[in-house]
C-alpha cells in the first residue's frame, strides 16, 4: 500500500470527524442559545412594537452575551479560534428566522416586518475581534463587553428606524410600530405601550436610549465574566467522575 | 484533526465505507420528513379543531394524538435503550483499534442526530409554541402546540440523547467505567426540560396569565437549555482519543490500550499526550 494512499485515507476520516463535530456543535448551540434567548428576551425579539428605545437595548444585549462568552472561552483557549461569538449568534439568527418565517409569518400570518428578529452578528464580530487582538479575556470583557452593549442599538437601527417614525393616530401621537400593534390583534400578548411608556422613562424621552445602552454595556461586562468562567471550567470541562471500582474501593477504605 | 505525517503502519485499517453518512442521513432525513408532516397536521387542525378542549373534535384530533405519541415514545425508548444495553460489548478491554474508531464514528452520527432533534425541539417547536400562545387564548394544558412541542419533540430528542449516552457507555472503553461530566450534562440537562413542563403547566393553570414569554415561570427551561453548551466538553473528551486512534490505525503510532483507557479515562483526554502521539 502506498503511504500517500494511507495518508489520504487518514485525512479523509479526520475531515469527516471534523464535520460531525462542527455540525453537531452548531445545532446544539442553536438549541441551547435560542431557548435561552426566547425565554429571557424573546418578547422584544418577536414584535417590532416591543423594539423600543428603553428596555430592548438593555435586556437583549445583557441576556445574549452569555453563550458567546462561554463558547469563546473554549474555542479561544483550546483552539485559538476567534469565532466563538459569531458562531453562536449566527446559529441564533438561523433558529429565529426559521420560526419567524415558517410560523409567525407562514402559520399565523403576521407580516415579516412585524416579527423579524434582531441581529447580534455585528456586535459578535467586534467581540471576536477584540479577543483576537488582545488575546486576553479580561480585556475582552471590559472592552468587548462595553462595545457589545453600545453597538446593539446602532447596528439594528437600519432595520427598525422606519417603524419609529411618529404618526398621529386617532388623535394620539405614536410610532408606526405602535399602529401595526393595534392593527394585528395578539389575543394573549400584553400591550407593550402599557408597560414601557411610564414615568421618567417617558419624561426623559430622547435621552433614554444612550443611557440604556450605557447601562446595558456595564451589565454586559459583568455578565461576560461568569459566562466565560462557566464555559472554560464547566461546559468545557473534560472531567470524568471516578470509576466505579475506585469509588467503591475508597468507600470500603473509609 | 488533520494529519500531516506519513509513516509505516502494520495495523488493520477499516474500509472507508465504514465511515459512511448513511445512517445519520436516514435518521435525520426521517426526522425532517416527520417534522414537516407534523407541521402540516398542525396547520390543518390546530385552528380548526384545537380551540375548544371540551369538543369531540378536540378529543379525537388532539387528545388521541397525545395518547398515541406517549405510548409510541415509551415503547421506542424502552426498545432502543434496552437493545443497546442487551447487546453491549462485554469484552471492551480487547477492542481492536479499527473497531473502536468505527464505533466513535457511529457515536458521532448518533450525537449529530441528537443535536438535530434537540434543535427541532428546543429551538423550532419551542418558539412555535410562542407563535401559538401569543395568538390565541389557552383553555387547556394540552393545547395543540403542547401536544407537539412538549410531548412529542422533547421526548424524541431525549430518546436520541440517552440512546447516544448508552451507546457510548456500552461500546466505548472511554465511557465504560466512569461517567463523563460534560456528556451527562449534554444529555441530562436538556432532558430535564421535559420534567420542567410540570412546573410550567402548573404555573399556567394556577395563574391564568398573559403570555409573556420572558415570564420567570419559564426560566427553568432556560437553565436546563444551558446544558447544550456541554457539547464543547464532550467533543474535547472524544477528539483526543479519536486523533490517537487515527494516528495508530493509519500511521502506526503508539496508543493507550482499551484496558488502560477503561481504568483511567481521564488520561485519554490529555491533549499533551495526544500531541506527543502526533510527534
Query: For B110-159, what is each residue's pLDDT tens digit?
Result: 999 999 999 999 999 999 999 998 888 777 889 999 999 999 999 999 99
**Residue A138 CB-half CA count within 13 A:** 0
Residue among B23, B231, B246 with most chain A CBs within 10 A, to mutate? B231
Domain ranges of chain A: 15-112+119-238
- CA nearest A102 in B: which residue? B128
The CA–CA distances, whole Å, from B51 to B45, B61, B62, B185 equal 9, 11, 10, 37
Average the pLDDT over B217-239 and give the result: 96
User: Are residues B105 and A237, on separate chains, in Cβ contact within 8 Å?
Assistant: no
Helices (H), chain A: 3-40, 42-46, 56-64, 66-79, 84-99, 112-115, 121-134, 137-139, 145-160, 176-183, 192-196, 199-203, 208-230, 244-253
Within a domain: B269 = no
Residue A193 has pLDDT above 70, yes or no: no
Q: What CA–CA distance (Å, rounded) separates B148 from B126?
A: 10
Residue among A78, A115, A185, A240 with most chain B CBs within 10 A, to mutate? A240
Name which of A14, A95, A234 is nearest B123 (Cβ-Cβ): A95
Within a domain: B55 = yes
Three-state SS annotation for A148-199: HHHHHHHHHHHHHHHHHCEEEECCEEEEHHHHHHHHCCCCCCCCHHHHHCCH
- CA nearest B113 in A: which residue? A24
Total tally of structural domains belonging to chain B: 1
Q: Pull the grid cell for residue B79.
A: 426498545
What's the confidence (pLDDT) of residue B50? 92
User: Are residues A17 and B108, on separate chains, in Cβ contact within 8 Å?
Assistant: yes
Instruction: Provide the pLDDT confidence category of residue A109 given band limits of 50, 70 and 90.
Output: very high
Encode burial over B3-15: b for 16+ CB neighbours within 10 A, e otherwise: beeeeebeeebbe
Q: ipTM score of the complex?
A: 0.93
State chain A's mean pLDDT as an integer: 92
What's the confidence (pLDDT) of residue A47? 93
Instruction: Provide the pLDDT confidence category of residue B276 given band limits of 50, 70 and 90.
Output: very low
Does A105 contact B at CB distance below 8 Å?
A: no
Residue A67 has pLDDT above 70, yes or no: yes
Within a domain: B255 = no
Does A226 contact B at CB distance below 8 Å?
A: no
Q: Pull the grid cell for residue B16.
A: 472507508
Q: What CA–CA distance (Å, rounded) separates B214 from B158?
A: 25
What is the extent of the structural domain holding B25? 20-234
pLDDT tens by residue, B188-221 = 999 999 999 999 999 988 876 777 889 999 999 9
The CATH number of domain A15-112+119-238 is 1.20.1450.10:
yes
- CATH number of the structural domain spanning residue B180: 1.20.1050.50
Within a domain: B171 = yes
User: Are residues A235 and B226, on separate chains, in Cβ contact within 8 Å?
Assistant: yes
Q: Which is more confidently placed, B213 or B234?
A: B234
User: Are residues A243 and B178, on separate chains, in Cβ contact within 8 Å?
Assistant: yes
Instruction: Provide the pLDDT confidence category of residue A134 given band limits of 50, 70 and 90.
Output: very high
Chain B residues within 8 A of A88 when measuring between CB atoms: none
Residue B6 has pLDDT above 50, yes or no: no
Residue A253 has pLDDT above 90, yes or no: no
What's the confidence (pLDDT) of residue B259? 95
- CA nearest A190 in B: which residue? B210
Name which of A12, A41, A188 is nearest B137 (Cβ-Cβ): A188
What's the confidence (pLDDT) of residue B279? 42
Within a domain: B276 = no
Q: Which is more confidently placed, B252 or B272?
A: B252
Amino acid at each position: 500500500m502506498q503511504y500517500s494512499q494511507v495518508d489520504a485515507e487518514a485525512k479523509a476520516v479526520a475531515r469527516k470527524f471534523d464535520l460531525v463535530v462542527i455540525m453537531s456543535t452548531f445545532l446544539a448551540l442553536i438549541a441551547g442559545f435560542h431557548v435561552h434567548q426566547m425565554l429571557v428576551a424573546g418578547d422584544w425579539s418577536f414584535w417590532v412594537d416591543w423594539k423600543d428605545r428603553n428596555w430592548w437595548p438593555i435586556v437583549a444585549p445583557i441576556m445574549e452575551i452569555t453563550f458567546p462568552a462561554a463558547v469563546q472561552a473554549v474555542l479561544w483557549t483550546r483552539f485559538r479560534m476567534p469565532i466563538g461569538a459569531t458562531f453562536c449568534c449566527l446559529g441564533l439568527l438561523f433558529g429565529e428566522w426559521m420560526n419567524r418565517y415558517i410560523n409567525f409569518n407562514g402559520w399565523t400570518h403576521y407580516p415579516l416586518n412585524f416579527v423579524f428578529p434582531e441581529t447580534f452578528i455585528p456586535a459578535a464580530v467586534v467581540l471576536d475581534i477584540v479577543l483576537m487582538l488582545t488575546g486576553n479575556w479580561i480585556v475582552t470583557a471590559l472592552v468587548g463587553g462595553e462595545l457589545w452593549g453600545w453597538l446593539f442599538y446602532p447596528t439594528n437601527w437600519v432595520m427598525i428606524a422606519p417603524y419609529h417614525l411618529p404618526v398621529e393616530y386617532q388623535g394620539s401621537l405614536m410610532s408606526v410600530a405602535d399602529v401595526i400593534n393595534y392593527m394585528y390583534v395578539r389575543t394573549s400578548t400584553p400591550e407593550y405601550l402599557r408597560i414601557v411608556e411610564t414615568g421618567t422613562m417617558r419624561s426623559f424621552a430622547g435621552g433614554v436610549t444612550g443611557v440604556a445602552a450605557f447601562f446595558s454595556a456595564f451589565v454586559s461586562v459583568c455578565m461576560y465574566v461568569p459566562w466565560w468562567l462557566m464555559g472554560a471550567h464547566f461546559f468545557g470541562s473534560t472531567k470524568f467522575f471516578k470509576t466505579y471500582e475506585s469509588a467503591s474501593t475508597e468507600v470500603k477504605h473509609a | 484533526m488533520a494529519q500531516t505525517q506519513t509513516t509505516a503502519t502494520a495495523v488493520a485499517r477499516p474500509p472507508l465505507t465504514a465511515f459512511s453518512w448513511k445512517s445519520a442521513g436516514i435518521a435525520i432525513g426521517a426526522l425532517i420528513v416527520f417534522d414537516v408532516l407534523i407541521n402540516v397536521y398542525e396547520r390543518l387542525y390546530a385552528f380548526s379543531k384545537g380551540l375548544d378542549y371540551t369538543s369531540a373534535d378536540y378529543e379525537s384530533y388532539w387528545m388521541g394524538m397525545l395518547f398515541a405519541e406517549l405510548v409510541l415514545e415509551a415503547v421506542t425508548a424502552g426498545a432502543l435503550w434496552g437493545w443497546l444495553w442487551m447487546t453491549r460489548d462485554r469484552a471492551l478491554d480487547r477492542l481492536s483499534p479499527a473497531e473502536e474508531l468505527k464505533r466513535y464514528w457511529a457515536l458521532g452520527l448518533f450525537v449529530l442526530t441528537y443535536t438535530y432533534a434537540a434543535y427541532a425541539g428546543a429551538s423550532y417547536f419551542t418558539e412555535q409554541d410562542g407563535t401559538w400562545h401569543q395568538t390565541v387564548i389557552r383553555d387547556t394544558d394540552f393545547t395543540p402546540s403542547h401536544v407537539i412541542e412538549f410531548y412529542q419533540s422533547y421526548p424524541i430528542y431525549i430518546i436520541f440523547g440517552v440512546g447516544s449516552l448508552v451507546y457510548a457507555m456500552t461500546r466505548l472503553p472511554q465511557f465504560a467505567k466512569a461517567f463523563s461530566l460534560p456528556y451527562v450534562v449534554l444529555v441530562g440537562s436538556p432532558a430535564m426540560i421535559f420534567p420542567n413542563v410540570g412546573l410550567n403547566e402548573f404555573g399556567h393553570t394556577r395563574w391564568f396569565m398573559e403570555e409573556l414569554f420572558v415570564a420567570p415561570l419559564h426560566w427553568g427551561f432556560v437553565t436546563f437549555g444551558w446544558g447544550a453548551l456541554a457539547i464543547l466538553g464532550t467533543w474535547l473528551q472524544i477528539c483526543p482519543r479519536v486523533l490517537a486512534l487515527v494516528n495508530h490505525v493509519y500511521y502506526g503510532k503508539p496508543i493507550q490500550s482499551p484496558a488502560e483507557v477503561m481504568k483511567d479515562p481521564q488520561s485519554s483526554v490529555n491533549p499533551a499526550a495526544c500531541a506527543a502521539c502526533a510527534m
